[in-house]
Structure 1
Amino acid sequence: MAKRYIILDTETTGTGEADRVIQLGFMVLGEKEIEVQNELFSSEVPIGFGAMEVHGITPSMLEGKPKCKESGAYKRLQELNTNENYLIIHNAPFDITMLEKEGFKTQMRVIDTLRVAKHLLPDEEAHRLQYFRYKMELYKEEQKEADALNIVVKAHDAIGDVLVLKLFLSKLKEIVLAQFPSENPVDKMVSLTATPILIKSFNFGKYKGKTLKEVATSDAAYLRWMLSGMENLDEDMRYSINTVLGS
């Protein structure tokens, strides 16, 4: 069977341990056709107001909807879950962790476009999907694509973000080809996804603008506190702190 590329995004009740998936959107890119899956789910976990503010999904929109595992979209994702296929997500660890709570264990090769972008474009001021939507002028192309696929484009909506991610993926592929002309761009993106990023300086907090090496010398206790005290610490930052501390 020909390999397929599954571009995916979720929306959730929040970002905590107890939170669950309430929207699953993905596109399946085959040799010729594009399949679109987009579904809302009910959840016993209430939607946090912070999450509602981001994605606009309200409790009334989930009334009568199936649980995630019982939905057609989830079952289709399970059908596609083989090691020939590629799963493409912006900030993959978050969505994969959320799907794991629903019993989904990916067998696919993963491309995390967030980490790939950080490798390829280290000097960008941000690496969020919406940042690149405007920086790379993807918004100028998205309506034509949306009309062809019968998709409504909304920021922070799972299927809307998937459409933007599809356009962003094409741009990343061009950058990979330019930077690594002798390598297969898809395989290179899988490789970059698996390669941690060594962050050199802080772009937040009280040490914003300082290098991790400087802080390791002047206030190593702060870095050790970050490792033990910050639950949602970015895995690349964790890797970088451990590196500068010599762990």
Structure 2
Amino acid sequence: MAKKYIILDTETTGTGELDRVIQLGFMVLGEKKIEVQNEFFTTDVPINYAAMEVHGITPDMLEGKSPCKESASYKRLQELNTDENYIIIHNAKFDIDMLAKEGFKTQMKVIDTLRVAKHIFPDEEAHRLQYFRYKMGLYLDEQKEADELGITIKAHDAIGDVLVLKLFLSKLKEAVLAQFPTENPVEKMVDLTLTPILIKSFNFGKYKGKTLAEVAASDAAYLRWMLGGMDNLDDDMRYSINTALGV
């Protein structure tokens, strides 16, 4: 059976622990015809206004819809959930964690294009999908692609973002191949997704704007305090601090 590549995005009631998926959009690549899934869901959790401001999904749009787990698109995603397939998401942890609340546990190989982009384009001022949409001129090609697939383009809409991500993935794959010409670019993206990201400078706190190397030289005790005293320190920052300290 041919490998399939599932490019996916969700929209949710918010970003908190209790929030839930209200839109699931994905494309399935790997066969002659691209499959498109796009569906809205009802939920008992109200959409918070900050989320509504971003994606524009209002409660009336969800009236009469099925819950996520009972939907055709969710059931199709479960059918695709095998270890020979790949799931491709920008900021994958968020969407995978949200889908886990609906009972979905991915068996697919994960490509997080946000993490891959941070490895491949470390000096970009941002790594958001919409940033690359404009920086790489993806918006120039998206209408033609949307027309062919019957998709309406709208920023921060699940299937609209999937379309942009499909275009970005092609550019990212080219960049990965250029940097790692002897490796399979798809498998390299899986590998980079799992590889710690080396953070060069602080974007928060009293040393905002300073490089970790500078702080290691001037106030190594502060970095050691971060390692021992900050429970919410993510793995990438922990790795980067240890690197700066020469651990």
TM-score by length of 1: 0.92
Shift of the 193–67 alpha-carbon distance from structure 1 to 2, 3 Å rule, reads same
Per-residue deviation, 1:205? 4.4
Cα separation, 2, equivalents of 1:150 and 1:112: 26
For the 8 Å contact 1:89–1:113, the answer to whether it is kept is yes
Per-residue deviation, 1:134? 0.2
For the 8 Å contact 1:215–1:223, the answer to whether it is kept is no
Partner amino acid for 1:22?
A: I
Partner amino acid for 1:110?
A: V
**Partner in structure 2 of residue 31 of structure 1:** 31
Shift of the 49–112 alpha-carbon distance from structure 1 to 2, 3 Å rule, reads same
Partner amino acid for 1:168?
A: F
**Partner in structure 1 of residue 67 of structure 2:** 67
Partner amino acid for 2:64?
A: G
Shift of the 205–130 alpha-carbon distance from structure 1 to 2, 3 Å rule, reads farther
3-state DSSP class of the match of 2:230? helix
**Partner in structure 2 of residue 188 of structure 1:** 188
Question: How many pairs were matched up?
Answer: 244
Cα separation, 2, equivalents of 1:73 and 1:226: 43
Per-residue deviation, 1:225? 8.4
For the 8 Å contact 1:20–1:101, the answer to whether it is kept is yes
Cα separation, 2, equivalents of 1:226 and 1:93: 24
Cα separation, 2, equivalents of 1:8 and 1:84: 17
Q: Deviations over 1:39-95 (max 9, x none)?
A: 001111111111000000011111111111000000000000001100000000110
Gaps of 5+ in 2: none
The more displaced of 30-39 and 136-145 is: 30-39
Cα separation, 2, equivalents of 1:33 and 1:234: 40
Partner amino acid for 2:136?
A: M
For the 8 Å contact 2:6–2:29, the answer to whether it is kept is yes
Cα separation, 1, equivalents of 2:176 and 2:13: 35
Give the 5 Å matches for 1:5-154.
5-154=5-154
Partner amino acid for 2:170?
A: S
3-state DSSP class of the match of 1:54? helix
Q: Deviations over 1:133-169 (max 9, x none)?
A: 0000000000000000010111100000000000000
Cα separation, 2, equivalents of 1:50 and 1:238: 30
Identity, in percent, stands at 79
For the 8 Å contact 2:223–2:241, the answer to whether it is kept is no
For the 8 Å contact 1:12–1:21, the answer to whether it is kept is yes
For the 8 Å contact 1:88–1:113, the answer to whether it is kept is yes
3-state DSSP class of the match of 1:57? coil
Cα separation, 1, equivalents of 2:32 and 2:189: 22
Partner amino acid for 2:186?
A: V
Backbone CA RMSD of aligned residues? 1.9
TM-score by length of 2: 0.92
